[in-house]
Amino acid sequence: MKTAVHTLLNSSKRGDVPPFIAMDVMAAAARMESAGKRIIHMALGQPATPAPRTAIAAAKAALEYGRSDYTSARGIPSLRDRISRYYRDTHGCDVDPERIVVTTGSSGAFILAFLSMFEPGDRVAVAIPGYPPYRHLLTALGCEPVLIPTHTETRHVLTPEALLASHRITPLKGVLVASPANPTGTMMSREALQKLMDAAKNAGIRFISDEIYHGLHYGVRATSAAELSGDIVVINSFSKYFCMTGWRVGWMVLPEQLVRPVERLQSLAISVPMLSQIAAEAAFDGCDEMDAVKCTYEDNRRLLIEGFSKAGLDRIHPADGAFYLYADVSRFDADSVNFAKRMLEEANVAATSGLDFDPVHGRAFVRFCYSGSTDDMREAVVQITKWLVRRG
């Protein structure tokens, strides 16, 4: 009987998603903090700043009026109009609000994209190093994530050659790219994005562009795939540039024929919370405030690159955007899980092993998130430098 109950409660194979190593770091950091230690947090990829004041004010006003209903599954029309205006103002392209669906963060959008675009067994390419939930979610949905390694020589950007080489071995149904990328921060040029999209289209590979770090670039502005084609899926979010991780709002720009299927899938969860959608719409009026936050990231990035280089941590991927540095730590420790653990215990700085992002080469890398305060980043450089000197 005991065994039968036990079997009844077993989780399914597809629900057996690997844990984030970053969470172990966070748990260890929390234990140290409860013992009185001050920890500098550079492990989790979330802004340390709250949502724009405009967003908070709009949410407060909506609460006053008791506005908290279900909304249309596609999202409130005025928010979809505002997102469409963003494409016109920022990217100079027309995106019909009818092709926009508001989602529960970009994470919700990935579920909708994968379900509406792929069948179980379909092979979908993702670049590594890359954001781990892409591959875990594909696996959970019965698809096969195909990990294509990217290299320093190509600035960790997925090339048409690498994509087509993989497609020739076993055909791919889709490809997902992010620019700026997590964990490297590297960005694709407009030409590189266009070439990759053309190669995918000619080979019959469906294209998904994760643009969650748009707005956070430190040189040339990121190109949206929506500027280049209407036959692809673009995913974006209010989590990063707008500092609204916990509000859980994102969006998709869809080809016309996917709008209804995605709407039907989205309606299974009814809608994104109305309050969050109201706040998100007002967030677009808070860009000056968010641009000032971005300037602190820019300072942090400069400070860390200079400080880390002096400390010998000079093998860092070109960080064009987002708020991450992906550093090769192999000259200090062949195992970055151990490096991150000791850095936490001995320098009180929490960062993440690259193994989360790249099961093949990630053991050589650590990802540092620099979305914290500039004072914390300065302190992190001091602590890490002293620690590396002590290690010899």
Q: Which stretch binds ligand PLP (CB under 6 A): 28-36, 100-108, 115-123, 169-177?
A: 100-108
Least distance CB 333 / ligand PLP (angstroms): 25
**Which positions from 169 through 228 interact with ligand PLP, judged by CB under 6 A?**
178, 182, 210, 212
Least distance CB 236 / ligand PLP (angstroms): 8
**Which positions from 30 through 59 interact with ligand PLP, judged by CB under 6 A?**
45
Residue 91 vs 240, nearer CB to ligand PLP: 240
Q: Where does residue 288 rank: exposed (0-12), middle (13-18), buried (19+ CB within 10 A)?
A: exposed
Residue 87 vs 324, nearer CB to ligand PLP: 324
E strand or H helix that includes residue 126:
strand 123-128
Q: Is 218 helix (H, G, I), strand (E, B) or coil?
A: coil
Least distance CB 106 / ligand PLP (angstroms): 3
| Cα torsion through 213, 214, 217, 220, rounded to 10 | 140
- Closest to 186 (Cα-Cα) out of 166, 164, 159: 159
* The binder of ligand PLP chosen from 72, 194, 229, 245 (CB under 6 A): 245
Q: Which residue has the tokens 């300037």?
A: 295
C-beta atoms surrounding 82 within 10 Å: 18
Least distance CB 129 / ligand PLP (angstroms): 11
Based on DSSP, count helices (H) and strands (E) in the chain, helices before strands: 14, 12
- Closest to 391 (Cα-Cα) out of 333, 310, 304: 333
**Which positions from 113 through 142 interact with ligand PLP, judged by CB under 6 A?**
131
The conformation of residue 253, written as its DSSP 8-state character, comes to E
Fill in the amino acid letter for 17. V
Residue 106 vs 276, nearer CB to ligand PLP: 106
Phi, psi of 367 (to 5 degrees): -100, 125
Instruction: Answer yes or no whether residue 237 interacts with ligand PLP by CB under 6 A.
Output: yes
Bridge partners, residue 125, by sequence: 146, 175
Least distance CB 6 / ligand PLP (angstroms): 34
Residue 110 vs 387, nearer CB to ligand PLP: 110
* The binder of ligand PLP chosen from 54, 239, 271, 300 (CB under 6 A): 239
With contact defined as beta carbons under 8 Å apart, do 199 and 166 qualify? no
Q: Which stretch binds ligand PLP (CB under 6 A): 99-107, 120-128, 289-297, 374-382?
A: 99-107
Instruction: Answer yes or no whether residue 371 interacts with ligand PLP by CB under 6 A.
Output: no
Q: Site residues (CB under 6 A) for ligand PLP?
A: 45, 105-107, 131, 178, 182, 210, 212, 237, 239, 245, 250
